[in-house]
């Protein structure tokens, strides 16, 4: 499916990062990066394994603290807010984990109900049921409602993981390697779903990947993370219109070999 034109407000950043640094012992992972995510935008962060992509979204979601720099998420500086404020902020951020992070002992219904029961204690049973049905319909898996995660394919587990993230109506979506480990046809389906979520739920998203097909099909902008910094940011064609020896082999591996 061809990506529909997104309604992006480039005057309204929902995430602003300035001078972000993060190290582990003597290893500098992020070395003073700057980045903006705008309202309604799908922004893809590309890079090789171990370049700090997942560290970045863990910092954005407050799962990890930065060493230095400013990270503003939905108007809040995550390094300065209280634990209570951070918990409230996380409800507004959807984190789609690479492994889907479903509870194997719960049915699909119970997996989807869990964040609602935990964070929306005033909801009635009817409202919970409606929310579950809405997100299952959004990911095209209404028929799996009473199945266990072990009965689902890898692609279905990814979709249910995204549905569980959507059930709290997040303003920002963070996707960690959404197509990792999937066959090519299922990858296309997940890419299409990411775009459908953007259009249907009006989310702003950061998509972490090293899959250039995912990047090209879902990203309104691409940010290439190299040597701990964003070296190239722009449209897909702009990022890869270069002879940079760090970038060119990345493209050739995905699209030529």
- Which CATH number characterizes residue 254's domain? 3.40.50.300
15 and 74: one domain? yes
How many CB atoms are closer than 10 A to CB 153?
11
Q: Given 169, 199, 223, which residue is the final one in a domain?
A: 169
68 and 174: one domain? yes
58 and 148: one domain? no
Give the torsion sign (CA, 119, 92, 210, 32).
Answer: negative
Q: What is the pLDDT of residue 257?
A: 46
51 and 39: one domain? yes
**150 Ramachandran zone, left/alpha/beta (phi>0; psi -120 to 50):** alpha
Question: Is residue 213 within 8 Å of residue 254, measured between CB atoms?
Answer: yes
36 and 59: one domain? yes
**Residue 124, beta-bridge partner list:** none
147 and 79: one domain? no
Phi, psi of 157 (to 5 degrees): -60, -40
Q: At what angle do helices 184-201 and 125-138 cross, to 10 degrees?
A: 130
**What's the domain count of the chain?**
2
Rounded to whole angstroms, the Cα distance separating 26 from 109 reads 45
122 and 175: one domain? no
245 and 227: one domain? yes
Q: Given 169, 196, 221, which residue is the final one in a domain?
A: 169
Q: What pTM does this model have?
A: 0.91
165 and 184: one domain? no
Question: Is residue 172 within 8 Å of residue 203, measured between CB atoms?
Answer: yes
Tens-digit pLDDT profile for the chain (257 aa)? 667 888 899 999 999 999 999 999 889 999 999 999 999 999 999 988 778 898 999 999 988 999 999 999 999 999 899 999 999 999 999 988 877 789 999 999 999 999 999 998 889 999 999 999 999 999 999 999 999 999 999 999 999 999 999 999 999 999 999 998 889 999 999 999 999 999 999 999 999 998 899 999 999 999 999 889 998 999 999 998 888 888 877 776 665 44
12 and 78: one domain? yes
Q: What is the pLDDT of residue 245?
A: 82
Q: Given 150, 169, 188, which residue is the final one in a domain?
A: 169
88 and 176: one domain? yes
Per the structure, the complete domain to which residue 131 belongs is given by: 100-169
152 and 180: one domain? no
């Amino acid at each position: 499916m061809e990506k529909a034109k997104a309604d992006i407000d480039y005057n309204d950043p929902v995430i602003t990062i300035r001078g972000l640094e993060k190290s582990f012992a003597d290893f500098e992972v992020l070395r003073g990066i700057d980045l903006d995510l705008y309202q309604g935008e799908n922004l893809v962060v590309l890079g090789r394994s171990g370049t700090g992509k997942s560290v970045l979204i863990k910092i954005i979601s407050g799962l990890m603290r930065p060493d230095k720099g400013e990270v503003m998420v939905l108007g809040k500086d995550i390094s300065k807010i209280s634990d209570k404020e951070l918990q409230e902020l996380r409800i507004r951020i959807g984190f789609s984990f690479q492994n889907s992070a479903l509870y194997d002992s719960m049915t699909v219904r119970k997996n989807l109900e869990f964040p609602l029961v935990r964070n929306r204690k005033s909801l009635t049973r009817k409202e919970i049921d409606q929310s579950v049905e809405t997100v299952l319909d959004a990911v095209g898996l209404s028929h799996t409602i009473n199945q266990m995660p072990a009965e689902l394919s890898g692609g279905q587990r990814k979709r249910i993981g995204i549905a569980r993230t959507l059930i709290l109506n997040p303003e920002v979506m963070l996707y960690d390697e959404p197509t990792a480990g999937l066959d090519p046809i299922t990858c296309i389906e997940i890419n299409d779903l990411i775009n459908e979520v953007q259009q249907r739920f009006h989310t702003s998203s950061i998509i972490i990947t090293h899959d250039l097909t995912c990047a090209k099909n879902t990203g309104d902008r691409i940010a290439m993370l190299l040597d701990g910094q964003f070296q190239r940011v722009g449209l897909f064609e702009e990022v890869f219109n270069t002879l940079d020896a760090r970038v060119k082999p990345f493209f050739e591996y995905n699209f030529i070999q």
